[in-house]
Amino acid sequence: MNRKRFVGDWAMLGTVFGLILFGLLMIYSASNYTARLHMGNAFYYVERQIFTVLLGTAAMFLMMKLDYHRLLKMALPLYGLSLLLLAAVFVVGTASHGQKRWIYIGSIGFQPSEFAKFVLIIFLASICGAAGSMMKKWKGILLVFLWMMPAAGMVMVTNLSTGIIIMGIAFIIIFIASRQWLPFFVLMGLGGGFMGIFLKLASYRVGRIEAWLNVETHPKGYQTRQSLYAIGSGGLFGRGYGKSIQKLAYIPEAHNDMIFSVICEEWGLLGAGIIAALFIFLIWRCLITANSAPDIPGALLTMGVTAHLGLQMLINIAVVTNSIPNTGIPLPFISYGGTSLIFLMCEIGIVQNIAQQGKTYIS
């Protein structure tokens, strides 16, 4: 009797769960002081993250079992749903850091912009794959760009950093589908123009650029300064697990967007380098899956996930090291956060499904 068994990418899965487990350790280390102080429970944040990991794991295995072609067929309804949810944020959204980004149902919060990233990867892979030779023409490339702009625009109004990631994912998928250099650079110029407009729409964004340029003295550079102190004090080998000083109420959001600075302080440059190497390895495994995908939409889906992982990792580390202005982007699989982790795990599930279909089942 022939029985199908999993022939996906075990190395990819192992790396993802390795990063998640390390993230749980670091969330506890980075948050136990403030959690005990404000919540009365040192394990408050790590317990919530464990629950999220369980939900994300269930969602990932569901995506692994669901044929990705079925997702591609649902691309347009899913995109419509994402637009409705993004619009709902302006009406019933809850503010975070001065901007409406969350929708709450009871005590459960949901960030529609994370759903939009997930859906846009599916949507762009679907329409670019279906467009075929049209993607070699300016008209086809421009139409795809215009299709994704409503979602990108609504996200940018309240969350420019997530909007930049969405634009980056879109540019990479469109470029791979078209392989046309000139339209790609034109789109980059248009995207840069849109980002310039959204920078001018909110003065606090200009303030972040000023803080980046004058991090030593600017009042809004406090978080970045504390992050740099943590990185510098970690040295080559770090202070040791749990021994960070800057996490003790000095670094705001130490368990969230700035967790990489705590990693640097406790594990040093060597530990931070190992984490960066694991992300590079994960991206490499995704590229292998894209290369062996059974069709063009599958390859574009995988490249969209690869772009998402790579951009989010690079932007987070760049912010923590003050290489770019401060913006709220979590470190994939490691930072505390529910919506982002669940949809990232869904994306890994889709890539695993593509990897299985790109290989021969063994009896």
- The arithmetic mean of pLDDT across residues 226-249, rounded, is 90
Distance, CA of 121 to chain centre:
12
Residue 249: per-residue pLDDT: 76
User: How far apart are alpha carbons 289 and 292 in whole angstroms?
Assistant: 5
Higher pLDDT, 274 or 328: 274
Q: How far is CA 172 from CA 181, 184, 258, 283, 304, in A?
A: 11, 9, 27, 14, 7
Whether 57 has a pLDDT exceeding 50, the answer reads: yes
pLDDT band at 1 (very low <50, low <70, confident <90, very high): very low
pLDDT in tens, 291-312: 999 999 999 999 999 999 999 9
Q: Which residues of 68-105 are buried (b: 16+ CB within 10 A; e: fewer)?
A: beebbeebeebbeebbebbeebeeebeeeeebbbbbee
Residue 29: per-residue pLDDT: 94
pLDDT band at 320 (very low <50, low <70, confident <90, very high): very high
Whether 203 has a pLDDT exceeding 70, the answer reads: no
- The arithmetic mean of pLDDT across residues 4-27, rounded, is 89
Whether 347 has a pLDDT exceeding 90, the answer reads: yes
Calculate what percentage of the chain has a pLDDT beyond 90: 53
pLDDT in tens, 75-126: 999 999 999 999 988 888 776 665 677 787 766 778 888 999 999 999 999 9
Whether 341 has a pLDDT exceeding 90, the answer reads: yes
- Helix intervals (H) in 99-249: 112-131, 138-158, 160-178, 181-201, 203-213, 222-234
User: How far apart are alpha carbons 224 and 233 in whole angstroms?
Assistant: 14
Kindly report the pTM of this predicted structure.
0.91
User: How far apart are alpha carbons 322 and 123 in whole angstroms?
Assistant: 33
Q: Is 323 helix (H, G, I), strand (E, B) or coil?
A: coil
Residue 325: per-residue pLDDT: 86
CB 317 within 8 A of CB 276: yes
User: How far apart are alpha carbons 296 and 313 in whole angstroms?
Assistant: 26
Higher pLDDT, 47 or 179: 47
Higher pLDDT, 252 or 193: 252
Residue 362: per-residue pLDDT: 33
- The arithmetic mean of pLDDT across residues 176-195, rounded, is 77
Calculate what percentage of the chain has a pLDDT beyond 70: 91
pLDDT in tens, 252-267: 878 988 999 999 999 9
Higher pLDDT, 141 or 173: 173
Q: Which tokens belong to 64? A: 């692994």
- Helix intervals (H) in the chain: 10-39, 44-65, 68-73, 75-92, 112-131, 138-158, 160-178, 181-201, 203-213, 222-234, 259-291, 296-320, 338-357
- The arithmetic mean of pLDDT across residues 307-332, rounded, is 92
H/E stretch holding 110? strand 108-110
Residue 46: per-residue pLDDT: 94
Mean pLDDT for the chain?
A: 87
Q: Residue 343's closest CA among 14, 31, 78, 73?
A: 78
